[in-house]
């Protein structure tokens, strides 16, 4: 309840600030961005985050699960280790490294975002499966469940909330990182921020930053709700 109130207050501040700036006649020597500009860039932003995130889920979840399979466990340490190390590199650095390799443009922006989003998804998928109490797996095996039955009936349902939490974290981080993607030719709300920086108009920066923050809060809440739906009843606390 408390959390919800905080969320609503935050969201109203972000949206309120955006409206306030948009309604201003002029910012120094420039016009503020119009609602349609903001709408278009929000859509672009969402598109980048969405594509990058779908790629991250499509590759991160299966990869994270595969390295928990017997026989593939030897790949777990290098892959998950690499993911953990990757996470410590600042997002700006990831994007900066990607630029010379992939060139400029929407696609390289998406690939840079995907690489950065992949890590939490991969790590949580791996942790979700490998943190299951071994006694649960042993008793499933001892009662005559096949590997596939154990995967579908036991491991995936139990790992689902953890995997979902990874996707949620990754998405929220991605919304923020996506503002930097304009540096390598991406679109989105980062463009407004960048313009504000170039022209040295703080309010223009805020006009791009506030909707970005609002977007992050909204996505976090939506995915949080989805996570709760995906959590099996017996695992819920209280």
Partner 1 sequence: MIKLENVKKVYQDGTEAVKGVTFEIKEGELCVLLGPSGCGKTTTMKMINRLIPITEGHIYIDGTDNREMDENELRREMGYAIQEIGLFPHMTVGENIATVPTLKKWSDEEKKERARNLLNLMGMDPDEFIDKYPSELSGGQRQRVGVARSLGADPPIMLMDEPFGAIDPITRDRLQDEFLKIQNEIQKTIVFVTHDINEAIKMGDKVALLKEGKLIQYSQPAELLAAPKNRFVRDFVGSDRTLKSLRLMKVDEAMKESPRVVKEDQDLESVGRIMEEEGVNYLIVVENGNKLKGWINREDVEETGQGKVTDAMVTDTGAAEIGTNLADALTVMLERDVANIPVVDGNNSLRGLLTFNDLQGLIGETYTESGGKHPEVPR
Which positions lie near partner 1, rule CB under 8 A? 133, 135-146, 149, 154, 157-158, 232-235
Q: How far is the CB of 117 from partner 1 (least distance, A)?
A: 28
Q: How far is the CB of 230 from partner 1 (least distance, A)?
A: 11
Residue closer to partner 1 (CB basis): 2 or 233: 233
Instruction: Write out the two tokens for 4.
Output: 């919800």
Q: How far is the CB of 162 from partner 1 (least distance, A)?
A: 13
* Secondary structure (3-state) at 185: coil
> Do 105 and 127 form a contact (C-beta atoms < 8 A)?
no
Residue closer to partner 1 (CB basis): 70 or 234: 234
Residue closer to partner 1 (CB basis): 130 or 195: 130
Q: How far is the CB of 148 from partner 1 (least distance, A)?
A: 11
> Do 161 and 228 form a contact (C-beta atoms < 8 A)?
no
Q: How far apart are CA 148 and CA 125, in angstroms?
A: 17
Q: Which residue has the tokens 């503002």?
A: 179
Helices (H), 106-237: 106-130, 134-142, 147-149, 156-177, 190-199, 202-230
Contacts (Cβ under 8 Å, ≥6 apart) of 39:
none
* Secondary structure (3-state) at 87: helix
Residue closer to partner 1 (CB basis): 165 or 216: 165
Q: How far is the CB of 121 from partner 1 (least distance, A)?
A: 22
Q: How far is the CB of 57 from partner 1 (least distance, A)?
A: 22
Q: How far apart are CA 61 and CA 100, in angstroms?
A: 28
Q: How far apart are CA 227 and CA 196, in angstroms?
A: 36
Residue closer to partner 1 (CB basis): 31 or 139: 139
Residue closer to partner 1 (CB basis): 23 or 133: 133
């Amino acid at each position: 309840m408390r959390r919800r109130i905080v969320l609503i207050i935050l969201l109203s501040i972000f949206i309120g600030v955006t409206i306030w700036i948009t309604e201003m006649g002029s910012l120094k020597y420039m016009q503020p961005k119009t609602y349609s500009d903001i709408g278009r860039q929000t859509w672009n932003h969402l598109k980048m985050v969405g594509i990058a995130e779908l790629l991250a889920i499509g590759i991160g979840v299966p990869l994270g699960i595969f390295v928990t399979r017997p026989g593939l466990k030897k790949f777990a340490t290098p892959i998950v280790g690499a993911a953990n190390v990757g996470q410590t590199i600042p997002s700006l650095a990831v994007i900066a490294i990607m630029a010379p390799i992939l060139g400029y443009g929407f696609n390289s922006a998406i690939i840079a975002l995907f690489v950065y989003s992949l890590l939490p998804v991969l790590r949580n998928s791996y942790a979700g499966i490998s943190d299951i109490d071994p006694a649960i797996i042993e008793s499933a095996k001892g009662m005559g469940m096949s590997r596939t039955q154990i995967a579908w009936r036991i491991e995936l349902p139990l790992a689902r909330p953890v995997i979902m939490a990874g996707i949620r974290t990754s998405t929220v981080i991605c919304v923020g990182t996506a503002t930097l993607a304009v540096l390598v030719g991406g679109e989105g709300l980062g463009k407004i921020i960048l313009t504000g920086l170039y022209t040295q108009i703080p309010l223009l920066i805020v006009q791009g930053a506030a909707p970005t923050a609002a977007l992050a809060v909204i996505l976090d809440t939506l995915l949080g709700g989805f996570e709760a739906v995906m959590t099996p009843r017996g695992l819920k606390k209280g």
